[in-house]
Structure 1
Amino acid sequence: MASIELDIWRGEWGLASIDLECLKVLTYMKFIGVPVKVREASNPFFTPKGTLPVMRDGRTVLTNFEEVVAYLKSLHYSTDVHLNQKQAAEASAFTQYLRDKLYPAYQYAWWVDEKNYGDITRPAYAKALQIPFNFYYPSKYQSSAKAMVDALFGEHTDLKEIEKTIYSEAEKCLKTLSDRLGESEYFFGNRPSSFDAIVFAYLAPLVKAPFSNATLANHVKGIANLSRFVARIGQKNFRSVTDDYNRVDSKKKSQGTQSEREAAHFPHQTRNKLLAAVFAALAMTGYAVANGMFQDLKDFEHSQHYNDMFENEEDDN
């Protein structure tokens, strides 16, 4: 086995990654203790499928959770060896149940809800990306999520009705999960399984991200044993990430309080900062427009229309 590398979306809000699929793989790798070099990618454009995560082990390149689990099992890394046949079948059925009932609600909360998308999702992904991909990928993912919702409910269905239905199904799913977990530490015995990694990846972003429309998130937080489940796994496997976030967050809040006091005493300084920000934004916009114009002119110069124009002039002469 060569040195395993894992490219993921960056973390935020005390999460090791903001992305559901990345968090699945990363959590599973934490469970089995496989040596891995984790890198926060800033451009998925050159990945095999234009998506993250991507796991590399020598010439082996894998891009989804199921592939990673199967491959690591072939290397004798697995958290599911303690599952009997009945438990393995139950875990598989529950995984599909989550895909059918919780995943649509998850996608709706992250990408379709315009308030959440504008306030939380788009800025988080844009922050993780380089220019100009920070304009492209969030919109692409939102379009994909909306297409999924349209396929499930029809294009012309009222969004409020969709939200009501989709969250109702998700709440039933979460109750079933809660009943199955009970007071156990994990879903199948006293050791984590791949299913525990999947559930954590679904629930942790809902618990930790500061959603503007927190309907689904609040429901998860209101289920005590699922909230404890998220906290336990986070504490055992991502404690340094959580501690770093809490430390930085506390510092920001402290600086924010100080800035508010200074702003109260120096209103002109606040005004000047705002004016500077506006000026910078206008300058960047002008630069982008200018670049676009120059590129358009360059493209036209090498076009057939450009050549035809001069050929016509020669004919006239």
Structure 2
Amino acid sequence: MMPAPTPLLPSGRLPALKTKDNGTISKMEQIITHLRKQKYNADYDLSAAQGADTLAFVSLLEEKLLPVLIHTFWVDAKNYVEHTRKWYAETIPFPLNFFLPNCMHKQHLERLQLLWGDGYMEDEEKLEKELYRDARECLTLLSQRLGSQKFFFGDSPASLDAFVFSRLAPLLKAKLPNGKLQQHLKSLQNLCNYCTSILSLYFPWDGGEHPGSAPRAAGTDEAEEDPHKRRNQLLSVLVGLVAMLGYAFLSGIVSIQRGGAGPGARQPIAMQEEEEEEEE
């Protein structure tokens, strides 16, 4: 039996947590605060010094690593065209995959300009070189702090591990044509082993079959597994056709022309190019 479709998020963005008392929470800080109130706290056993280290490393990653990750995936032209945009276009359903990647690209450019300040456009090459250097130093510092430990604070994961993994795993696993920062990460063997260990422990289906999916029996009808699949596909096609026709009318590619009475004079839809040829 297929899971029920997820309702639309109020903010249209992830992450989001649906709760009984507070409705849907869509901000990371509010989600963490809510979970801690419910006694779900990955940092419960940490000392005050370890808590301070967590805040320091999170701030370091946000300042030194995050801007370069945005640049690597969204600004670097080769990576964006051959990897990021292609991946999102293949993953997002039709017809959203035609324009959502470009909207996301624009949002990340604006975000990066806010992070880098007004000097971003003045000497982009020099600033990029400095920021990549800082990002490499940040990864090296993480590697030294981790050492030979399984997690940053021993044998149990904490919030810092979740944060670090969310930044490093995409960079490590992505097939980037231009992987300057990726190559430096791959040279830090303990960080690579760290990501691989977390993937095998908590995401064992990565690269394989989802553990909750059972092999399909011979002769099983897809409609029985998902009775709404055909309807959803049809709706997607109809929405796409409406969107394309709307664009065609607004841009003037297609026009509606009324003629005189009689079947021979009626011309419901005519292309502009054909009209020009007839006038000539």
- Name 1:293's counterpart in structure 2: 248
- Name 1:196's counterpart in structure 2: 161
- Name 1:243's counterpart in structure 2: 208
Letter in 1 for 2:9: T
- Name 2:82's counterpart in structure 1: 119
- Name 1:69's counterpart in structure 2: 32
Letter in 2 for 1:161: K
Is the CA contact (8 Å cut-off) linking 2:132 and 2:181 kept in structure 1?
A: yes
Query: Which stretch shifts more, 163-172 or 192-201?
Result: 163-172
- Name 1:52's counterpart in structure 2: 14
* Structure 1 position 156 matched with structure 2 position 121: yes
Match of 1:186 among 151, 154, 166: 151
* Structure number with higher helix proportion: 1
With normalisation by structure 1, the TM-score equals 0.62
* Aligned mates of 2:139, 2:145 — CA distance in 1: 10
- Name 2:102's counterpart in structure 1: 139
Q: Which has the larger radius of gyration?
A: 2
1:271-286 aligned at under 5 Å gives the runs none
Q: CA deviation at 1:291?
A: 4.0
- Name 2:179's counterpart in structure 1: 214
Q: Which has the higher contact order (CA 8 A, sep 6+)?
A: 1
Q: CA deviation at 1:157?
A: 3.2
Query: Which stretch shifts more, 58-67 or 90-99?
Result: 58-67
* Aligned mates of 1:75, 1:286 — CA distance in 2: 47
* Aligned mates of 2:30, 2:241 — CA distance in 1: 46
Q: Deviations over 1:118-140 (max 9, x none)?
A: 11111222223233322333222
Q: Deviations over 1:221-242 (max 9, x none)?
A: 1101100110110010001223
Structure 1 stretches of at least 4 aligned residues deviating more than 6 Å after TM superposition? 38-41, 285-288
* Aligned mates of 1:66, 1:50 — CA distance in 2: 17
Q: Deviations over 1:196-243 (max 9, x none)?
A: 000001000011010011111111111011001101100100012233
Ranges in structure 1 where 5+ consecutive residues have no aligned partner: 1-37, 246-284, 302-317
Q: Structure 1 vs Structure 2: percent identity of aligned residues?
A: 31
Query: Which stretch shifts more, 204-213 or 133-142?
Result: 133-142
Letter in 2 for 1:51: R
Q: CA deviation at 1:155?
A: 4.5
- CA gap of 1:286–1:71, structure 2 versus 1, over 3 A, is closer
Letter in 1 for 2:111: M
* Aligned mates of 2:4, 2:161 — CA distance in 1: 23
* Structure 1 position 80 matched with structure 2 position 48: no
* Aligned mates of 2:45, 2:193 — CA distance in 1: 23
SS at match of 1:125: helix
Is the CA contact (8 Å cut-off) linking 2:14 and 2:26 kept in structure 1?
A: yes
Query: Which stretch shifts more, 69-78 or 122-131?
Result: 122-131
Q: Deviations over 1:63-95 (max 9, x none)?
A: 233322221121112211110111111101110
* Aligned mates of 2:170, 2:5 — CA distance in 1: 17
- CA gap of 1:79–1:40, structure 2 versus 1, over 3 A, is farther
SS at match of 2:205: helix
Is the CA contact (8 Å cut-off) linking 2:120 and 2:127 kept in structure 1?
A: no
Ranges in structure 2 where 5+ consecutive residues have no aligned partner: 211-239, 257-280
- CA gap of 1:296–1:119, structure 2 versus 1, over 3 A, is closer
SS at match of 2:165: helix
SS at match of 2:110: helix
- Name 1:99's counterpart in structure 2: 62
Q: State the number of aligned residues.
A: 221
* Structure 1 position 173 matched with structure 2 position 135: no
Query: Which stretch shifts more, 155-164 or 219-228?
Result: 155-164
With normalisation by structure 2, the TM-score equals 0.70
* Aligned mates of 1:244, 1:87 — CA distance in 2: 37
* Aligned mates of 1:148, 1:190 — CA distance in 2: 36
